[in-house]
Structure 1
Amino acid sequence: MWDKIEHNGREVWVLPVTAYGPPVPETVWHYIGYVCRHGADAHLEGQSQRFQELVTTFRSEEEAREAGYDEGRRLADGLSGAKS
């Protein structure tokens, strides 16, 4: 399920995804996500910055979510420095 935090005037959305199909006891995780302004339509071109990590694996859903939030914060910080 998608989760959201707010950082530096932006929304950071992250979805942990299983690496190899349905969860099992030793499931490893990746994440996908995007950063956008409040109220933006993230499905429209130019309204969001997407990111993902599909190489590194994480040992839990929460670990993947937190890594996604960290990446989203870095992107939000960079976007805030750029003219919008």
Structure 2
Amino acid sequence: MWDKIEHNGQEVWVLPVTAYGPPVPQTLWHYIGYVCRHGADAHIEGQSRRFQELVATFRSEEEAREAGYDEGRRLADQVSVAKA
């Protein structure tokens, strides 16, 4: 499921996804996500920044989620700096 945190006035959404099919013991994970301002329609071009990690693998769903949050925070910080 998609999970969300807020960072620097923006929403960071992350979805951990399995690397190789359905979950089994020792499943590896990737993530996909996006950053948008509050109230944005993420499906409309220009209202969100999408990101993913589909090369590196993570040993758990939680590890993938946290890595996605880290990347989303980094992107949100870049937007904040660009506006300043």
- TM-score bracket, normalised by the shorter chain, equals over 0.9
Structure 1 unmatched runs, 5+: none
| CA distance in 1 between partners of 2:3 and 2:52 (Å) | 14
TM-score by length of 1: 0.97
| Structure 2 residue 78 is matched with structure 1 residue 78 | yes
User: How many residues align structurally?
Assistant: 83
Q: CA deviation at 1:53?
A: 0.2
Counterpart mapping for 1:1-84 below 5 A: 1-83=1-83
TM-score by length of 2: 0.97
Amino acid corresponding to residue 80 of structure 2 in structure 1: S
Structure 2 unmatched runs, 5+: none
Q: CA deviation at 1:82?
A: 1.8
Stretches (4+) displaced over 2 A: none
Q: CA deviation at 1:80?
A: 1.1
